[in-house]
Amino acid sequence: MASTQDRNLLAVIGDEDSVTGLLLAGVGNIGQDQKKNFLVVDSKTQIPVIEAAFEDFTTRKDIAILLINQHVAEKIRPMVDKYQAAFPALLEIPSKDHPYDPSKDSILKRVQKLFGE
């Protein structure tokens, strides 16, 4: 098991604008094994590709936080809802064309369930 000190990267699965903005902010990383910490999703991206990236990012020992556009998370909602690990932390974020909907956020649903709402 990797320590939390080894987790020093953010990963992102999102649309082109979201990923580009985060890459410009310095989030991007390509390791020596040519593994990227981001996936650009567009209308042609197939669901198995998104699922594979989600599985890869959630099992990597160098990623602390996984950011995923909420509309992309909807495409793989069963996987997102099933994810329970503390690290990497999973956060659903809005995109330019798809506003945030709290009723769809898996983390917020868990918090509401804890508080009995």
Model pLDDT, residue 4: 67
Query: Per residue of the chain (117 residues), what is the pLDDT tens digit?
Result: 556 678 889 999 999 999 999 999 999 998 888 899 999 999 999 999 999 999 999 999 999 999 999 999 999 999 999 998 989 999 999 998 888 887 888 777 777 777 887
Burial class of residue 117, CB neighbours in 10 A (0-12, 13-18, 19+):
exposed
pTM as predicted = 0.86
Cα–Cα distance, 11 to 64 (Å, whole number): 8
Q: What's residue 42's pLDDT? A: 96
